[in-house]
Amino acid sequence: MKRIGIIGGVGPASTVEYYNGIIKGYRELSHDENYPQIFINSVNMTEMLNYLANGDREGLVDFLISEIDRLRIIGSDYIAIASNSPHLVIDNLIEKSTIPMISIVEETCKYAKSKDLKKVLLTGTLFTMRTKLPPAEAGGLRKGL
């Protein structure tokens, strides 16, 4: 069984949603009553948002890579970040991470396209909502939607 690492706490409510969704999806696919092994690294949202507010993307990448490494050390097989805001630097994280990462933005886009959705709702921190997300910086969100 693969072990999932989640950078959480960035948006506590979204962390809970991801946790519950992963468990539900796993149980539906496995057709048993077991639970997947999930490691959640609850990082300091205020610290993360300070990097963004100060325009320090390099500092944000370094901060998140150190937190991703903690999840790798305890045995995570791959990582997801349960928040949209850190996806402003997801390409840098994927490049520097020593463990595979799943972009929630990319996966959401794939799902929306598979359902032929033309419009989707983005929710996030005030910072995310005020930031223009050009396609190259939207964690793999390319053309489409």
Other CB atoms within 10 Å distance of the CB of residue 105 = 20
Flag whether 131 is in a domain.
Answer: no
Flag whether 53 is in a domain.
Answer: yes
Flag whether 22 is in a domain.
Answer: yes
Can you give the CATH number for the domain in which 15 is found? 3.40.50.1860
Flag whether 64 is in a domain.
Answer: yes
pLDDT digits (tens), the chain, 145 positions: 789 999 987 778 888 988 999 999 999 999 888 899 999 999 998 998 899 889 899 999 999 999 999 999 999 999 999 888 888 899 999 999 999 999 888 888 888 889 998 888 877 777 777 776 544 344 444 333 3
Contacts for 13 with CB less than 8 Å, ≥ 6 apart: none
In the DSSP assignment, the letter for residue 77 is S
Contacts for 125 with CB less than 8 Å, ≥ 6 apart: 11, 49, 83, 84, 85
Flag whether 119 is in a domain.
Answer: no
Pairing type for strands 4-8 and 78-81 reads: parallel
DSSP-assigned beta bridge partners for residue 81: 7
Q: Domain of 8? A: 4-103
How many domains, in total, are found in the chain?
A: 1
Treating both helix axes as pointing N-terminal to C-terminal, what angle do 45-53 and 57-73 enclose, rounded to 10 degrees? 150
DSSP reduced 3-state for 8: strand
In the DSSP assignment, the letter for residue 81 is E
Contact 73, 5 (CB under 8 A): no
Flag whether 28 is in a domain.
Answer: yes
Flag whether 63 is in a domain.
Answer: yes
pTM for this model (two decimals): 0.81
